[in-house]
Amino acid sequence: MRGYNSPKGILPLMLLALTAGTPAAFSQKKAVDKTRITIQLEHEKQTIHSFGASDCWTTKFIGNWSNTSKKDQIADWLFSTDTLADGSPKGIGLSLWRFNIGAGSFEQGAASDIPDEWRREECFLQPDGSWNWKKQQGAQWFLQAAKQRGVRYTLGFSIAPPVFMARNGKAYNGTAEPSMNILKGKMNAYAGFMAAVSAHFKFDYLSPVNEPQWDWGKDRISQEGTQATNDEIAELVRLLADSLVARRVRSQIAIGEAGQLDFLYGRNKDNRGDQIQQFFSPASVNYIGKLPNTAHIISAHSYFTTCPDSHLVKVRQQVAGKIRQVDAKLETWQTEFGILGNICNLYKGGPRNTSIDYGLYVAKVLHHDLTLANVSSWQWWLAINPYNYSDGLVYINDPSGGMQVDKCKEDGTVLDSKQLWSFGNYARFVRPGMKRINVAVEGLNDPVKAAGTLMVSAYKDESSRKLVLVVVNPTGDQQSLQLMGTKHKLRFAGNVVNAYTTDATRNLKKTVAAVNNLVIPSRSIVTFTGTYQ
């Protein structure tokens, strides 16, 4: 979690013809040439679990706004699966909501050493051992709003022990040591704290560590957080599993939340990397794969591994390779992403940019995380962002329309972004339980080349025979798709599909297209949905 300026036997069943564009692989083709896309329904990949986002930390104020209509607008954009009058989605229909379990820096105020009060958080447990469930009221409002709108899963995540359990009495570590900022003998109490919070809110999942590889607060104190070694994480998970069982809590522990994907298969300096091997190889002293209430999941964040395209591809292929080597049944989750730092001088976290350029970049990362790393859940960082920075989905300006964060505590202007709607091309239509299926694009077997030309992924719900096709076109040329008749033709009900387009001027705009006349506008993401026969 980085803040707004952090360093954070298969038959071909469907042939779609694409009118050639001018860039990359298509530059020498004529307009009448067709590129075939083969969707292989029987070639199943991972089962999709969810798409989510986090409440950090801004909901503490925004969730307490007196203007309920503005809060409802935010909640609808994030959670709703309803449609507008023209059939376009009302929101992106997230299927998982992340709730930050605070460590108590907010109560410390300026003494917390965290200069931005928006980035401090309250704690439910008091130093005297009593509980105050009225804390984090703003975050609780959005948690309830998510449930009311049908979000399937909730996840509670802790990023630091309560301040009165910490070695330095703070919610940040402040050293370059790899060990957790916790008093000796307090690990079991920390586990009990998280189990009690999870029992109260009935979270489906509980994440006890977050980006343990970063040295929180060594150079700059900006938020709650602590580093931790693999040994400490394994110890904490064992204690937490026991505590959940003792309380008869059904929450499942989901571990990892590595600061970068490459910490999953390497970079084990200070015993904080190689986490697939460390936690899920039975030969490891840190093996936690058979503990009760522990999900068979390893997670990491996609920051700082997305450029150039060759590196984007290589890292995700290595994640998948390590999973196959250690435990092919282990699920991979991508649990935090936003546009941070300087990304090869192509994208920058600041100043705020909510254009289709950034929406297409988000779609590219999503595509590769899903199709190469085989992630089953993909989650965003700041769901709601008041900053002049690009790592949000919904944005808040002050009541006058400016970006004065300190004036947004009680009211503000609510804005959407292309990051939101591009994410929605996946989250709204690829629902929990759907299976990703293989797609072969003629002439684009190299994923590095496809990243700049055309990215296609497909998903099915076998029980309802629903097919979802997501196409990302980053080029400046429109591409036309036509369903080709073959011996094994895939037929759609009514010979039509719904199309939902996000580009510079449209946000998941719905149209209906004949299957022999599908169009991908330039610089767009289009999701096609239909019922196959």
- Give me the mean pLDDT over the 396-424 stretch: 98
Instruction: Report domain extents, the chain.
Output: 15-47+439-531, 50-427
Residue 482, pLDDT score: 65
DSSP assignment, residue 292? Answer: T
What is the rounded average pLDDT of the residues 455-467? 95
Q: Residues 424-437: what's their mean pLDDT? A: 98
pLDDT band, residue 28 (cuts 50/70/90): very low
- Tell me: pLDDT of 3 over 80: no
When the pLDDT of each residue in the chain is averaged and rounded to a whole number, the result is 92
Q: Give the mean pLDDT of 460-466.
A: 95
What is d(CA 392, CA 398) in angstroms, rounded to the nearest whole number?
16
Q: In Å, how far are 123, 171, 172, 214, 270 from 219, measured between CA atoms?
A: 25, 15, 11, 11, 18
| pLDDT band for position 489 (cuts 50, 70, 90) | low
Which residue spans within 68-170 are E strands per DSSP? 96-101, 153-158
Q: Burial of 493 by CB count in 10 Å (0-12 exposed, 13-18 middle, 19+ buried)?
A: exposed
- The more confident residue out of 16 and 321 is 321
User: Predicted confidence band at 24 (pLDDT cuts at 50, 70, 90)?
Assistant: very low
Can you read off the two tokens belonging to residue 514?
A: 């004949």
pLDDT beyond 50 at 456: yes
Q: Does residue 12 carry a pLDDT above 50? A: no
Average pLDDT over residues 383-396: 98
Please report where in the chains the tokens 């997230």 appear, as a residue. 94
Task: Please tell me the pTM assigned to this model.
Answer: 0.93
pLDDT of residue 142: 98
Which uninterrupted H or E stretch holds 500?
strand 496-502
Say how far apart CA 225 and CA 161 lie, in whole Å.
9
Mean pLDDT of 128-137: 98
Write out pLDDT tens, residues 245-261: 999 999 999 999 999 99
% of the chain beyond a pLDDT of 90: 85
pLDDT at 483: 55
- Cis-peptide into 351, omega within 30 deg: yes
Of the candidate CATH numbers 1.10.260.40, 2.60.40.1180, 3.90.550.10, 2.60.40.4070, the domain formed by 15-47+439-531 belongs to 2.60.40.1180
Q: What's the rounded Cα separation, in Å, for the pair 435 and 367?
A: 15
Kind plus residue range of the DSSP H or E element containing 439 = strand 435-441
Topology at the third CATH level for domain 50-427: TIM Barrel (3.20.20)
